[in-house]
Structure 1
Amino acid sequence: KTEQNLKAKTREGRSPPRGMAPPPDSKSDKSPEELLCAAAEAGNDDAIAELISSGADPTYFDASGMTPLMHAATGGHAAAARLLLDAGAPWNALSPEGLSAGDLTSDPATYDLLLDHALRSELILGTVARRQAAPANSSDGVPAETYLDSRVSFSEDRVMDAESKAVMMEWERPLMEAHARAVCAAGGGKVLNVGFGMGLVDQAIQRYEPEEHTIIEAHPEVYARMLKLGWGEKKNVRILFGRWQDVIPQLGSYDGIFFDTYGEYYEDMREFHEHLPKLLNPGGVYSYFNGLCGDNAFFHVVYCQLVAMELTSLGYSTQFVPLPVRDCLKAEVWEGVKQKYWQLDTYHLPVCQAESESE
Structure 2
Amino acid sequence: MSAADELVLDTADDALPAELLESAASLHSALLAHDLDAVKAALADGAPAWYQSPDPGWGALHYAAEWGSEEAVRAVLDGGAVWNAVDKLGNTAGDIAISRNDASTYELIRDAGLRSELLLNLLASHSAIKVEDPTPAGDLESFLASRLVYRQDASGQEVCAVTAQDADGRDIEVGVMMGWERRIMEETARLLSAAEPPEEGDGLRVLNVGFGLGIIDTLFQSLSPSKHTIIEPHPDVLAHMDSTGWGSKRGVDIRRGKWQDVLKGGEERWDVIYFDTFSEDYDDLREFFALLPSILSGPKARFSFFNGLGATNALFYDVATHLAELHLSQLGLSTQWDDVYVAQDLEDAWEDSRQYFTMEWYKLPVCWLRRAPEG
TM-score of Structure 1 vs Structure 2, range by shorter chain: 0.7 to 0.9
Alpha-carbon offset, residue 42 of structure 1: 3.5
Alpha-carbon offset, residue 281 of structure 1: 1.2
Asked whether the 8 Å contact 1:326–1:344 carries over to 2, the reply is yes
Matched, 1:203 2:218: yes
Residue 181 of structure 2 is matched in structure 1 by 172
Matched, 1:323 2:323: no
Residue 125 of structure 2 is matched in structure 1 by 128
Residue 69 of structure 2 is matched in structure 1 by 77
Give the helix-richer structure, 1 or 2.
1
Task: Pick 1 or 2: higher relative contact order, CA cutoff 8 A, min separation 6.
Answer: 1
The CA RMSD measured in Å over matched residues stands at: 2.2
Alpha-carbon offset, residue 19 of structure 1: 4.4
CA shift digits 1:71-122 (9 cap, x unpaired): 1012211111111111111000012222211121133332222122111100
Inter-partner Cα distance in structure 2 for 1:95 and 1:327: 28
Residue 10 of structure 2 is matched in structure 1 by none
Give the alignment's TM-score, normalised by structure 1. 0.87
Inter-partner Cα distance in structure 2 for 1:150 and 1:189: 34
CA shift digits 1:33-63 (9 cap, x unpaired): 2221121233322211221232322122222
CA shift digits 1:281-311 (9 cap, x unpaired): 1110100001111111111111110000000
Alpha-carbon offset, residue 260 of structure 1: 0.1
Residue 3 of structure 1 is matched in structure 2 by none
Amino acid across the alignment from 1:169: M
Matched, 1:113 2:128: no
> Percent identity among equivalent residues?
38
Inter-partner Cα distance in structure 2 for 1:130 and 1:312: 20
Asked whether the 8 Å contact 1:42–1:72 carries over to 2, the reply is no
Residue 44 of structure 1 is matched in structure 2 by 35
Specify which of 330, 349, 367 is matched with residue 352 of structure 1. Answer: 367
Count residues with an aligned counterpart: 333
Inter-partner Cα distance in structure 1 for 2:297 and 2:16: 54
Alpha-carbon offset, residue 141 of structure 1: 4.8
Inter-partner Cα distance in structure 2 for 1:169 and 1:79: 44
- 1:1-359 correspondence runs (5 A): 19-20=16-17, 22=19, 31-62=22-53, 63-105=55-97, 106-126=101-121, 127-130=124-127, 137-138=133-134, 141-156=137-152, 157-163=158-164, 164-186=173-195, 188-249=203-264, 250=266, 252-282=268-298, 283-330=300-347, 332-337=348-353, 339-355=354-370
Inter-partner Cα distance in structure 2 for 1:260 and 1:195: 5
Alpha-carbon offset, residue 140 of structure 1: 10
Alpha-carbon offset, residue 17 of structure 1: 7.0
Mind listing any 5+ residue stretches in structure 2 that lack a counterpart?
1-12, 153-157, 165-172, 197-202
Q: Following superposition, which runs of at least 4 residues in structure 1 exceed 4 angstroms of deviation?
A: 16-21, 131-134
CA shift digits 1:143-185 (9 cap, x unpaired): 1111011111111310111321000000111111111222222
Aligned pair in 2 of structure 1 residues 60, 218: CA closer, same or farther (>3 Å)? Answer: same
Aligned pair in 2 of structure 1 residues 131, 65: CA closer, same or farther (>3 Å)? Answer: closer
Asked whether the 8 Å contact 1:183–1:191 carries over to 2, the reply is no
Mind listing any 5+ residue stretches in structure 1 that lack a counterpart?
1-15, 25-30
Aligned pair in 2 of structure 1 residues 141, 124: CA closer, same or farther (>3 Å)? Answer: farther
- Mean alpha-carbon deviation: is it higher for 247-256 or for 77-86? 247-256
Give the alignment's TM-score, normalised by structure 2. 0.84
